[in-house]
């Protein structure tokens, strides 16, 4: 299996340019930085111990911010991500910060991975969740570079597929020096493959940043009943538009704010609203809000935290469709009432926690969500939820850093031994 994968990814290398050009046309790649995915970068690797963190998208990146911050104090950091949105989030947090570099993640082709490792020479590698790339993993292992999998997760769907190549998965997963699982279910899945060095610590996404924006002071907004549809996918915007249309006569001050998962879908969402005969506005923030607007579509990710502060009623997308849901922690931090569909398996333990605290509710139909809204409008939510999340998150963070440091110390000692040996 390893040989077959190596061969396929080697051949795929020669198709990458047209593939990436196509994605650029679809606005899914940065036209100025797409070559980073081919292992080419103009950025400089300065001397010193370099820690490489890799994660796929925004949610994964945010979950490891506290860990990055911990190591940034004394180390050089390279962060790779795959999506345009994750780069925006990175730049906002680490703009003009020394000793940390962002690059788009290299595609897992042997030619690219060799080029990438020779360029950056990482001393230790942290992958997150399900980011398991065989060529990268084997290259690191063969060059005695420690690899840690943070917040490790195997979905049920992936587990069914991986069972078919059990022996190959055993070889891949045992390249990791440490696998820190986010749930008991994922721990059981990793154990099935005979994986070594597994620890179940809990979901890093319980660790939420406390540097929230100040509460929105817009006077027009203060007069509004605000319902937010966050990180929505196809069909979920239509779902929320129907909710607004149904409630508009009863609550004429209702404002629905839609923050789509992919902002390139805004023209599609716009057509839905036009067909519903509702007033809408497309904007980056709430600064130029118009009082007669029914639905506000946000076309930027940079102001999401600030916008979330404006509402106590939030629907979190990726849950009515079979996507697996989105992380609800930041929303819960704002003490908002959370609604979600049945498909939240990527964050099942977090939603179980929030459901028990009566701060999140599963809905399947427009009527169910409307009923919950009407029952809870003007009902005060308990503020204890934030404190509980902080305590859980801090415990997980502390345990994660302790486990990581053990591997890091061993790796550093090993490096010193090699240097001494060659001197």
> Domain with 250 in it: what CATH number?
3.40.50.2000
Q: Evaluate if residue 423 carries a pLDDT over 60.
A: no
Look at residue 396 and tell me if it is in a domain: no
Are both 162 and 245 inside the same structural domain?
no
Q: Indicate the Cα dihedral angle 149, 152, 157, 161, nearest 10°.
A: 30
HEC sequence for the chain: CHHHHHHHHHHHHHHHHHHHHHHHHCCCCCCCCHHHHHCCCCCCCCCCCEEEEECCCHHHHHHCHHHHHHHHCCCEEEEEECCHHHHHHHHHHHCCCCCEEEEECCCCCHHHHHHHHHHHCCCEEEEECCCCCHHHHHHHHHCCCCEEEEEECCCHHHHHHHHHHHHHHHHHHCCCCEEEECCHHHHHHHHHCCCCCEEECCCHHHCCCCCCCCCCCCHHHHCCEEEEEEEECCCHHHHHHHHHHHHCCCCCCEEEEEEECCHHHHHHHHHHHHHCCCCEEEECCCCCCCCCCCEEEECCCCCHHHHHCCCCEEEECCCCCCCCCCCCHHHHHCCCEEEECCCCHHHHHHHHHHHHCCCEEECCCHHHHHHHHHHHCCCCCCCHHHHHHHHHHHHHHHHHHHHHHHHHHHHHHHHHHHHHHHC
Are both 187 and 315 inside the same structural domain?
no
Are both 240 and 133 inside the same structural domain?
no
Are both 45 and 147 inside the same structural domain?
yes
Are both 165 and 307 inside the same structural domain?
no
CB of 301 within 8 A of CB of 85?
yes
Structural domain total, the chain: 2
Q: What is the mean pLDDT of residues 67-87?
A: 93
Q: What is the pTM of this model?
A: 0.76
Q: What is the mean pLDDT of residues 151-167?
A: 91
Are both 195 and 327 inside the same structural domain?
no
Q: What is the CATH number of the domain that holds 53?
A: 3.40.50.11720
The pLDDT value recorded for residue 347 is 87
Backbone dihedral region for residue 325 (phi beyond 0: left; psi -120 to 50: alpha; all else: beta): left
The pLDDT value recorded for residue 411 is 53
Are both 93 and 236 inside the same structural domain?
no
Domain finish residue from 168, 200, 232: 200
The pLDDT value recorded for residue 217 is 52
Look at residue 278 and tell me if it is in a domain: yes
Look at residue 133 and tell me if it is in a domain: yes
Residues near 354 by beta carbon (within 8 Å), at least 6 away in sequence: 328, 332, 338, 360, 385
Over residues 306-337, the pLDDT tens digits come to 888 888 899 999 999 998 899 898 888 888 89
Domain finish residue from 200, 234, 268: 200
Domain finish residue from 146, 166, 200: 200
The pLDDT value recorded for residue 416 is 44
**Residues spanned by the domain of 31:** 2-200
Q: What is the mean pLDDT of residues 249-262?
A: 93
Look at residue 317 and tell me if it is in a domain: yes
How much of the chain exceeds pLDDT 90, in percent?
Answer: 53
Look at residue 145 and tell me if it is in a domain: yes
Are both 239 and 378 inside the same structural domain?
yes
Over residues 81-106, the pLDDT tens digits come to 999 889 999 998 998 898 999 999 99
Look at residue 308 and tell me if it is in a domain: yes
Look at residue 421 and tell me if it is in a domain: no
Are both 19 and 152 inside the same structural domain?
yes
Are both 116 and 250 inside the same structural domain?
no
Nearest by Cα to 204 from 180, 173, 184: 180
Are both 123 and 242 inside the same structural domain?
no
Are both 223 and 195 inside the same structural domain?
no
Look at residue 412 and tell me if it is in a domain: no
The pLDDT value recorded for residue 418 is 36
């Amino acid at each position: 299996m390893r040989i077959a994968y190596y061969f396929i990814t080697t051949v795929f290398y020669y198709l990458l340019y047209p593939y990436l050009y196509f994605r650029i046309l679809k606005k899914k790649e940065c036209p100025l930085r797409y070559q980073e995915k081919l292992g080419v970068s103009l950025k400089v690797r300065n001397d010193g111990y370099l820690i490489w963190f890799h994660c796929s998208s925004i949610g994964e990146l945010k979950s490891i911010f506290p860990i990055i911050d911990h190591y940034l104090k004394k180390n050089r950091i390279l962060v790779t991500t795959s999506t345009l949105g994750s780069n925006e989030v990175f730049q906002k947090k680490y703009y003009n910060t020394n000793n940390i570099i962002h690059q788009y993640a290299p595609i897992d082709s042997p030619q690219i991975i060799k080029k990438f490792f020779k360029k950056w020479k990482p001393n230790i590698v942290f992958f997150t969740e399900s980011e398991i790339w065989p060529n990268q993993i084997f290259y690191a292992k063969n060059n005695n570079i420690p690899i840690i999998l943070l917040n490790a997760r195997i979905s049920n769907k992936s587990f069914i597929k991986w069972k078919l190549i059990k022996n190959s998965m055993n070889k891949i997963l045992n390249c990791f020096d440490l696998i820190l699982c986010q749930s008991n279910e994922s721990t059981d899945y990793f154990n099935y493959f005979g994986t070594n060095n597994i620890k179940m610590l809990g979901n890093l996404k319980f660790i939420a940043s406390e540097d929230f924006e100040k509460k929105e002071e817009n006077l027009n907004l203060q007069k509004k009943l605000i319902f937010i549809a966050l990180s929505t996918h196809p069909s979920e915007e239509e779902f929320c538009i129907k909710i607004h249309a149904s409630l508009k006569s009863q609550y004429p001050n209702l404002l629905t704010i839609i923050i789509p998962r992919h902002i390139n879908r805004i023209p599609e969402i716009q057509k839905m609203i036009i067909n519903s005969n509702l007033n809408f506005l497309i904007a980056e923030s709430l600064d130029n809000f118009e009082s007669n607007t029914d639905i506000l579509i946000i076309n930027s990710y940079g102001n999401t935290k600030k916008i979330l502060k404006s509402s106590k009623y939030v629907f979190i997308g990726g849950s009515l469709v079979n996507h697996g849901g989105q992380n609800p922690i930041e929303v819960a931090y704002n003490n908002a009432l959370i609604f979600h569909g049945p498909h939240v398996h990527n964050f099942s333990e977090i939603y179980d926690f929030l459901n028990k605290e009566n701060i999140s509710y599963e809905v399947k139909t427009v009527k169910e969500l409307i009923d919950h809204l009407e029952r809870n409008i003007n009902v005060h939510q308990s503020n204890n939820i934030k404190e509980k999340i902080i305590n859980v998150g801090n415990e997980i963070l502390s345990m994660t850093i302790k486990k990581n440091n053990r591997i890091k110390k061993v790796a550093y000692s090993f490096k010193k031994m090699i240097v001494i040996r060659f001197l």
